[in-house]
Amino acid sequence: MLADLRELVLCESFSADLAAVARSADTVAAQGTRMLGSRPETIVIDGVAHLKWAFGVPRVLVLGHHDTVWPIGTLTTHPWSVTGGVARGPGVFDMKSGLVQAFHALAALPSLDGVTLLVTGDEELGSPTSRPLIEDCARGLAAAFVLEASADGGALKTARKGVSRYELVVHGKAAHAGLEPELGVNAGIELAHQVIAIAGLAEGATTITPTLLSAGTSPNTVPAAARIRVDVRVPDQAAQDRVDERMRGLTPRLPGARLELIGGPNRPPLEPASSAGLFELACEIAADLGIGPLTGTAVGGGSDGNFTAGIGCPTLDGLGAVGGGAHADHEHVVVAEMPGRSALVRELISAVLAGRRPGSRP
């Protein structure tokens, strides 16, 4: 497993570099072909390379991604290493270990009939080209298992907040700031009103965070335009719908100002009900394997599991690596946990294919 992980980590795959993503897809495809005895279908959408292995009539989806957030050349400052039972390197935790564990889990099954493995190439960008592919693969299936990295302490991710992304553009009117500012419509002042109004839409577990903002073109001109990006995280679909309605209901405060809203919901929430049965089953299997007890947690970050859950496919996430530091300098994987997590995925797939339900041991 370490040799396979090293191979993937040494093939850098920064999401924004399509040539690097294509090289990574070739490397992942070769490794999967060797492990599974079958070549994948390579699906290129708007230049982004995705991989799909399909065996028989689909019933279970195993889902992951091979792109990372790390720019090409990061290996020079974050080299591959294994020290004291901890593996390090760009993308080792998020989520190349998950891919290795998936390949080993599937290779150990007596039959792959009913399994689809999908490895996408743009998850870190919000899955702009792969979302329809993910939803098509998951529609009507019994389960989706997402090999994203685990939460703290190896916890599975039993719920994820939904994500909405907006950009609010304020249109005002330019004027000389010294000679006749009264003839302008200050988009910066209007934006200030809107930032406060937007932040005030948060309630309960919903977070609404104004992030990037800009206004104006020169220090002596009334700003004719301003804009703000907004990150929204919601616990359930009702909250996502409510925030979207309120964002679209924003109105300007200054006479002559005009608002333009861009964007909307990006990922539906993975609600606890979507994972409950699979998590219970996973806990039983972990106990049988002697690797329990498992814990589950809700997280604010989104994944492609949001999409599978959003179309009604039971989904369990965070089945990948145990470690930490996703997107950070201290990214790492606890090597000793890799075989057990792979075995858990293998037995989960086998149980679902056999029609096993929680509480009904074989």
Looking at the DSSP assignment, which residues form a beta bridge with residue 43? Answer: 50
Asked whether residue 288 carries a pLDDT value surpassing 70, the answer given is yes
Mean pLDDT along residues 49-78: 98
- 50-54, 98-102, 290-294 — which is least confidently predicted? 290-294
Average pLDDT, the chain: 97
Mean pLDDT along residues 76-87: 98
pLDDT for residue 292 = 79
Mean pLDDT along residues 62-84: 98
Could you give the angle at the alpha carbon of 242 between the alpha carbons of 158 and 207, nearest 5°?
A: 55
Tokens 């509480």, residue located: 359
Residue in 42, 28, 37 with CA at minimum distance from that of residue 55: 37
Could you give the angle at the alpha carbon of 47 between the alpha carbons of 45 and 49, nearest 5°?
A: 70
pLDDT in tens, 119-138: 999 999 999 999 999 999 99
Confidence of residue 361 (pLDDT cuts 50, 70, 90): low
In sequence order, which residues have a C-beta less than 8 Å from that of residue 111 and are 6 or more positions away? none
Q: Exposed, middle or buried: residue 62 (CB in 10 Å: 0-12, 13-18, 19+)?
A: buried
Mean pLDDT along residues 331-337: 98
Tokens 């049965």, residue located: 277
Domains of the chain in sequence order: 2-161+269-353 (3.40.630.10), 162-267 (3.30.70.360)
Query: What percent of the chain lies above the pLDDT cut of 90?
Result: 97
Asked whether residue 104 carries a pLDDT value surpassing 70, the answer given is yes
Asked whether residue 362 carries a pLDDT value surpassing 70, the answer given is no
Residue in 58, 78, 62, 59 with CA at minimum distance from that of residue 70: 78
Asked whether residue 360 carries a pLDDT value surpassing 90, the answer given is no
Helix residue ranges, H only, the chain: 2-9, 18-36, 97-107, 131-138, 187-199, 237-248, 272-289, 305-310, 338-353
pLDDT in tens, 194-205: 999 999 999 999
Mean pLDDT along residues 90-113: 98
Mean pLDDT along residues 227-248: 97
Mean pLDDT along residues 82-87: 98
Quote the pTM value.
Answer: 0.91
Looking at the DSSP assignment, which residues form a beta bridge with residue 83? Answer: 86
Residues belonging to the active site: 67, 123
